[in-house]
Amino acid sequence: MIVQSILEVQDLLIDLDRRISKSDYKTERVIKELGIAPATYYRKLRDKKFDINELAKIIQLLYPSEYEKLYIKKRLTISLEQAENGMVSTTEEVMKRYQEKYMKK
């Protein structure tokens, strides 16, 4: 599974420019969303060296509904694993932490 993911990332990097040009977003919007200079963007595009957070942001822009579904699925999987391992809190514990954090006197 990890090998497949890595190969998919490599395919994405190889084809990133075309995917962006076929999307609803212009390159300038992607650059703005990444918060990097245009020269940095084009260097990273040429060298295929976006970091994982930048790739996640680009994927989120290009494929928003697919990204959201997979993100929710991943978070649910993590939550279920935590519940199975006893890493749960009661409603009272959650409310107490909330009050301590947000309702300070």
* Residue 5 pLDDT: 86
* 3-state SS, one letter per residue, for the chain: CHHHHHHHHHHHHHCHHHHHHHCCCCHHHHHHHHCCCHHHHHHHHHHCCCCHHHHHHHHHHHCHHHHHHHHHHHHHHHHHHHHHCCCCCCHHHHHHHHHHHHCCC
Higher local confidence (pLDDT), 40 or 89: 40
Confidence of residue 105 (pLDDT cuts 50, 70, 90): low
Is this model's pTM higher than 0.85 or not? no
